[in-house]
Chains A and B, each alone.
Chain A
Amino acid sequence: MTLDKVPVGAKVKVININNSPIKHRLLGIGIVPNSLIEVVRGSPLGDPRVYRVFNKLISLRNSEASSIEVEFLNDYIPLSLASDGEYIISAFSAGQQFLKKISLLGLNVNSNISIKNGEIYFKGKKINLGHGMKEKIFLRRL
């Protein structure tokens, strides 16, 4: 996966930097294999986005971020990109309103959920979540 595909709020680990005219600058800034990157926010038009690298905020265009190969941390997989399996909710990356909405469904940090055939099950019952909401829920695989 490349960095430009990672949803806002997620934390990822860098695997490799592909060749590009800004490769050396990216490496110098601290985007090196094994370093952690957090996607902090997007600009009003979605591109560029801000990333946190060693506590510094760095803005990258999506075309630039696409030269960076990353993978999710095991305990920080966004629900929108999780494959089938058993998970525990590790964090939410959103504001008050979202938290209210989500607690109405009974979901909390540490709740167990499972994914089967791409559908989400909570306490044995199927629940429906929009893609935007799924991007704000982070899971740890059990």
Chain B
Amino acid sequence: MVITVGLVGNPNVGKTSLFNRLVGARQYVANWPGVTVSKIEGATTWLNDTLHIIDLPGTYTLSSQSADEKVTRDFLFYTPPNVTVLIADSVNPQQSFYLLIELLELNSNVILVMNSIDEAKKLGIKINKFELQKHFGVPVVFTSAKTGEGIDELKNLIVEVARGKHIKKVVFDYGDLESIILKIEKEIPDSILTNKRFAAIKFLEEDKEIQKILSPYIKIDYSIVKETSTLIPSIRYSHVENIIKEAYSGKSLNYQRTINDKIDHILTHKFFGIPILLVIMYLVFKFTFDVIQPISDYLESLLSLLSSYIKSFGNNTFISLISDGVINGVGGVLVFIPNIFALFFALGILEESGYLPRAAFVVDRIMYKMKLSGRSFISLLLGFGCNVSSIMSTRGLPDEKERIGTILVSPFISCSARLPVYLMITSIFFNKYKGEVLFSIYALSILITALSAYIINKLFFKGEDVPLVMELPRYRIPTLRNIFIYMWNKGSHFIQKAGTIIFAASIVIWFLSYFPSKGHIETSYAAYLGKIFVHLLKPLGFNWQIATALLFGGVAKEVIVSSLSMLYGFAESDLISAQSLLSQSISNISAYALLVFILLYIPCFATLASIKSETGSWKWVLFSVLYSFTIAYIFSLLVVILGNLIF
């Protein structure tokens, strides 16, 4: 039998960790991040059954007010799984039990999982399983995603519940409101909704969606609904407190509290909070791009060895395709893989330990001005390394507006791939003012990112604020197992998705520069394309060689360096001949415009592929290309116009 299992719970209770425990690291884990669906599915076999497990976005309520709440609600409402597993935090169970009461009003095949039981034990908290089973009327299991305790028991329970085992249905009483609930239930036509009690309660809670469906049928004074909308949650919480009084005993939580408060006092300190954040981010960068660099360099030298080994077999079309096209093209991206994994390793530590939400908290005020929140700050900062990792890290952002906004502006953060290009151009044209020119480009990068975040929010989200109702979880010491799972789940995506796109693009580019004249770039299709494209770029003072290089740079920004070298026929290291050739072909003002253009024009292929996979829509890819090209053109043109006026 195939049993579908939905995992429901507040953010940070351990849904994903438990999911990984249930599905096992070797099992297939698919990922569909997107506008409406952002749930993760995986399957495992247990005895004679297949458990199809769905990890739903974390939520505090089953209302339909925000996008992430709606994903979970709609899933449970319209396509209820065979078994719904509510994962509760054993240490701080109030919010979990509240969600459980809501869930029990909606579905009946529910299991209550008391997770993080290891922490509860360590703190001396005693939980009475039978009291919980009695009050909620569902089977209860104690688990720890850290030690693996209770996982098999949970799997057994899932199978039993799917086969029809129930304890008893508990109805949570709303006192004086019961008569109103009953009246509404009676007014709901059978053909509209079947789960009438849930619908009636949600109606009284001012749930927009249910109100829309029911309002033609329900006759009620809406001033009553104003009151019931806060009264119902209040009553639920009083049930929660009563149950906790019965089921919980043992030590209070003061010990945990003081340690947490002490760490927070330092990490979110009025004066040290921001400097500490900067130091930590600096260390992450250092680790990702310096400490790991030897591995990347080694990989790069291996790849170029391979390429020249293949070339040693002769000089024909096929060999050129493999060495110039596939190995140089795909390899150019593969060399970033150690950096990407290192980045996610470091981020994994920050996330698992509980620091990331604190970092978001510390910088939120600054990000708020751009209609983003503190959480997107971390994502954007990563963009200075690589825009792809920046876009991929937006998966952690729960607000859809913010997630899309962050994804769309992140290409304006000047990634490390652009640096070699800047270095080449500045050393040819602005050798004396290298530092100043580079600084101005990075400053422009930050400025345009902030501006775009604002514009995009205004354009698509009508200036709506992104809320920051965020939990700061208790600090934990991260386990290596979790960090490796985190790193692999986030990083392997890069190999799969970007890898396939880069592979295809590399072949296309190779084809364009090899044919029709077998390697003579001047008369290749690529040059032909560049000569068309350059018409558009004439006002900026660019020539066809630059146009072609920019076209190729669309694949990966570093490609501009090698393209320009190829097109001008000089060796990359030979700066003197480069200087004379290139410096004669465009003016200094156009050279600066070129820097600006390279910073801003279309995101590279890997970035576009990530935009597609993370937003799930070509619409945003198209927008990103058009928007960034327009911005690049406007700003470069401004440079040329102002430059000509001043100098």
A residues near B (Cβ < 8 Å) are 16-17, 21-30, 32-35, 40-48, 50, 54-61, 63-64
Contact = CB atoms under 8 A, between A and B. Distances in A.
24 contacts: A21-B65, A21-B66, A28-B98, A29-B95, A32-B234, A32-B237, A35-B237, A41-B264, A41-B268, A44-B271, A44-B273, A48-B365, A50-B264, A50-B472, A54-B94, A54-B95, A55-B257, A56-B92, A57-B473, A59-B468, A60-B468, A61-B364, A64-B467, A64-B468
A54 B61 contact: no
A55 B368 contact: no
B268 A28 contact: no
Shortest Cβ-Cβ A-B pairs, 3 listed: A28-B60, A28-B61, A27-B233
B277 to A, nearest CB: 9
Contact of B233 (A28, A45, A60): A28
A45 B237 contact: no
B60 A25 contact: yes
A25 B69 contact: yes
B65 A25 contact: yes
Contacts of A32: 230, 233-234, 237
Contacts of B257: 55
Given A46-B365, A48-B364, A48-B365, A58 B65 contact: no
A44 B268 contact: yes
A59 B365 contact: no
A55 B99 CA distance: 17
B253 interface: yes
Contact of B253 (A28, A29, A45, A55): A55
Contacts of A24: 61, 63, 65-66, 69, 205, 207
Interface in B75-93: 92
A57 B61 contact: no
A41 B265 contact: yes
A43 B94 contact: no
B152 to A, nearest CB: 30
Given A17-B230, A43-B273, A48-B468, A28 B99 contact: yes
Contact of B470 (A27, A41, A45, A59): A59
Interface string B360-390: 0110111010000000000000000000000
Which residue, of A22, A24, A58, has the highest number of chain B Cβ atoms within 10 A? A24
A47 B369 CA distance: 12
A33 B230 contact: yes
Given A21-B65, A55-B253, 7 more contacts: A24-B69, A28-B61, A28-B233, A29-B471, A33-B231, A48-B365, A57-B472
Contact of A45 (B207, B230, B366): B366
Contacts of B94: 30, 54-56
A64 to B, nearest CB: 6
A122 B467 CA distance: 45
B95 A47 contact: no
B15 to A, nearest CB: 16
A58 to B, nearest CB: 6
B95 A56 contact: yes
A56 B354 CA distance: 13
B367 to A, nearest CB: 11
B469 A60 contact: yes
B465 interface: yes
B525 to A, nearest CB: 53
Which residue, of A28, A30, A33, A34, has the highest number of chain B Cβ atoms within 10 A? A28
Contacts of B470: 58-59
- Which secondary structure dominates where chain A touches chain B? mixed
Contacts of A43: 268, 273, 361-362, 364-365
A26 B205 CA distance: 13
B274 interface: yes
A29 B469 contact: yes
A21 B234 contact: no
A44 B468 CA distance: 16
Contacts of A42: 270
Contacts of A48: 361, 364-365, 468
A16 B69 CA distance: 22
A45 to B, nearest CB: 4
B165 interface: no
Contacts of A40: 261, 264
Contacts of B207: 24
Interface string B434-475: 000000000000000000000000000000110111111100
Contacts of A45: 365-366
A24 B73 CA distance: 13
Contact of B467 (A16, A21, A33, A41): A21
B560 to A, nearest CB: 39
A105 to B, nearest CB: 25
Nearest to B99: A28
B578 to A, nearest CB: 47
Nearest to B260: A57
Contacts of B231: 33
B186 interface: no
Contacts of B520: none
A60 B364 CA distance: 10
Interface string B236-264: 01000000000000000100010011001
Contacts of A22: 65-66, 467, 469
A63 B366 CA distance: 15
Interface string B219-239: 000000000011101100100
A64 B268 CA distance: 20
B116 to A, nearest CB: 13
B169 interface: no
B407 to A, nearest CB: 22
Contacts of A25: 60-61, 63, 65-66, 69, 467, 469
Contacts of A46: 365
Nearest to B265: A41
Given A43-B362, A45-B366, A59-B361, A28 B63 contact: yes
Nearest to B235: A32
Interface in B33-74: 59-61, 63, 65-66, 69
B269 interface: yes
Interface in B251-297: 253, 257, 260-261, 264-265, 268-271, 273-274
A47 B465 CA distance: 15
A50 to B, nearest CB: 6
Contacts of B362: 43-44
A61 B399 CA distance: 15
Contacts of B63: 24-25, 28
B270 A63 contact: no
Contacts of A56: 92, 94-95, 471
Contacts of B237: 30, 32, 35
Nearest to B61: A28
Nearest to B365: A45
